[in-house]
Amino acid sequence: RAKADGRGLHRFFEPEMAASILVRRTLEADLRHALPAGEFQIYYQPLVDIGANRIVASEALLRWFHPVRGLVSPNDFIPLAEETGLITPIGEWVLREACREAASWPEPIGVCVNLSPAQFRSRSLVQSVLSALATSGLAPQRLELEITESVLLAENHANLAVLHQLRALGVCISMDDFGTGYSSLSYLRSFPFDKIKIDRSFVKELPENHECGAIVRAVAGIGQCLGVATVAEGVETPEQLARLREEGCTQMQGFLFSRPAPAAELRRMLEGGCEKWAEAASAA
C-alpha cells in the first residue's frame, strides 16, 4: 500500500503511525503489569430466565482499571492480550476468581466465563478449569464456558477435542455471539452446545426490523428442536423483551435487567430478591 500511493516507504513513518505504535507498545507494557498490580476486576451481568422469572446465571466480564487511562474496555485490550499470549494467565485468573465468587451465590445460580481461542492453544485450559472448580468447590454444572465460532473455525480438531474434554468435566458450553460468523449453523452440527447466545446485533434492531425478528425466531426454533437454551444478548427495552419472548427465546441478558456490576453489587441483587426483573418482565 505504501508503495502503491507513489510516495514510497516513508509513509510508514508518518507521525500518527509512530504515535499509534507507541501507544500500543505502552499499552502492552502496562498490560503485562496489570495482573500482578491488581488492576483487573470482574463485573457480573445477570442472565434472566423469563419463563421462571429468575436469574439463572451471571456472565463474568473483565474490567481493567488503568492507573492513568481509567477504565479500559475489554474490546480494547483482549485482542492485545491474545496477540501477546497474556490472555493465558489473565484467563486463568478470571476462571479462578469467577468460580470462587459464584461459589458464594445461592444455588443453582451459575457463572458464565468467556474463553478466547488463544486459551485453547495454551494446552493448559482443561487443567485450569479443573483446578478453578476444585479450589472453589463450585459444582461443574454451575460453570458455563462461552466460546465464539472462531474456536471451531476451519474444523479445528484439536480445539474440538478440548471442548469434549471440558464437557466431560460436567461444565456447560455456550456458543457466544451466534450469527456473526461465516457459517454459524455448521458449528451447531460440530458440537452439542448447551446454550446459544444470539448476538446483540440482531436484538438491537427489534422490534422494527422484520429480518432480525425472523432470524431470532429461527434460531430460537433451532434451539427448541435441539433442546438447547437460547439467550438474547443486549436486551435494552421492554419492546425488545416482548418480541424476544414471543419468538421463543428462553433467557435474556441486557441493560434492561442490569448493567454489568461489581461482585458485591451483584450479590446484593441476588440476595435482595428480584423485584426488578419482575417489573421489567411484567411491563413487557
The partner in contact with residue 135, picked from ligand C2E, Mg ion, none with C-beta cut-offs of 5 to 8 angstroms by kind, is none
Cis peptide before 108 (omega within 30 of 0): yes
Q: Which is nearer to Mg ion, 30 or 118 (CB)?
A: 118
Asked if 244 touches ligand C2E (CB under 6 A), the answer is: no
Q: Residue 180 class from Cβ within 10 Å (0-12 exposed, 13-18 middle, 19+ buried)? A: middle
Asked if 144 touches Mg ion (CB under 5 A), the answer is: no
CA distance 161 to 235: 33
Residue from the set 45, 88, 114, 240 that interacts with Mg ion by CB under 5 A: 114
Residue among 81, 88, 150, 154 nearest 119 (CA): 88
Stretch 204-243: interaction string toward Mg ion, x if CB under 5 A: -----------------------------x----------
Q: Which one of the spans 41-49, 106-114, 127-135, 217-225 is the region binding Mg ion (CB under 5 A)?
A: 106-114
SS3 255: coil
Q: Which one of the spans 26-34, 54-62, 124-132, 211-219 is the region binding ligand C2E (CB under 6 A)?
A: 54-62
Closest distance of CB 253 from Mg ion, Å: 8
Closest distance of CB 144 from ligand C2E, Å: 11
Asked if 47 touches ligand C2E (CB under 6 A), the answer is: no
180 secondary structure, DSSP code: S
Residue from the set 56, 61, 147, 281 that interacts with ligand C2E by CB under 6 A: 61
Residue among 143, 76, 85, 156 nearest 116 (CA): 85
Closest distance of CB 256 from ligand C2E, Å: 7
CA distance 191 to 166: 12
Q: How far is CA 176 from each of CA 9, 181, 191, 198, rounded to the nearest angstrom?
A: 41, 10, 13, 7
